[in-house]
Amino acid sequence: MKYISEQLTSNIIKEWNNGENILITAPTGSGKTTWVKNILSKNSKSVLVLVNRSNLKKQLDKKFKGTNVAISTYQYIESSIRTGRSLDIEKYDTIVCDEAHYFISDSGFNHFTDLSLSLVLLSNSIKIFMSATIEELEEYFNHVGIVVNDIQNFEFDNNISKIYSYQN
């Protein structure tokens, strides 16, 4: 398979409408973040990317510096809601939930994942949920009646033929 940037093109993005929920599942290394930077950001006025770890946020802050893409963490959103801090996510026409399995996988020890998920779902932005392991979130959406407007499922074969290890 090609990288998702080669298949999930501007033409497909233009078919998405405000308020829609889009699921993208593709393995690690298939180019999800590169797609956000090179394709999605050029087809959106403003993009908010939510991530599940502060180290990932720092990494993406550097990668998206000077673009129309803002990076935040789910935990910041949850903390803001719990403390009454003002949030204006409606200013983004697209919200990307990277590592979207977070809403399910972290809920066992973080009892506030539903706060960030609810805020995102109530937004009138295009909502894109991306993960290599999105099946449980998709099942949850089906169970509670959340409409998924488009599902993009990518398989990626990176054909690793050798693995090297080094010993000190």
Q: What is the pLDDT of residue 4?
A: 86
Distance CA(48)–CA(142), nearest Å, equals 25
Q: Are 97 and 141 in contact (CB under 8 A)?
A: no
Which is it for strands 47-51 and 69-73: parallel, antiparallel or unpaired? parallel
Residue with tokens 């295009």: 126
Q: Please report the pLDDT score of residue 153 as a whole number.
A: 81
3-state secondary structure of 132: coil
Average pLDDT, 10 consecutive residues per value, the chain (168 residues): 82 93 89 92 95 96 96 96 92 96 91 94 95 91 90 64 47
Strands 21-25 and 94-97: unpaired
Residues 119 and 85 sit within 8 Å (Cβ to Cβ): no
Q: What is the pLDDT of residue 46?
A: 96
d(CA 2, CA 165): 27
Distance CA 150, CA 23 (A): 6
Which pLDDT belongs to residue 165? 43
d(CA 47, CA 87): 15
The token pair at 22 is 């889009």
What is the pTM for the complete model shown?
Answer: 0.88
Q: Give SS3 for 48.
A: strand
| Other C-beta atoms lying within 10 Å of the C-beta of residue 13 | 18
H helices within 67-112, ranges in order? 74-83, 102-105
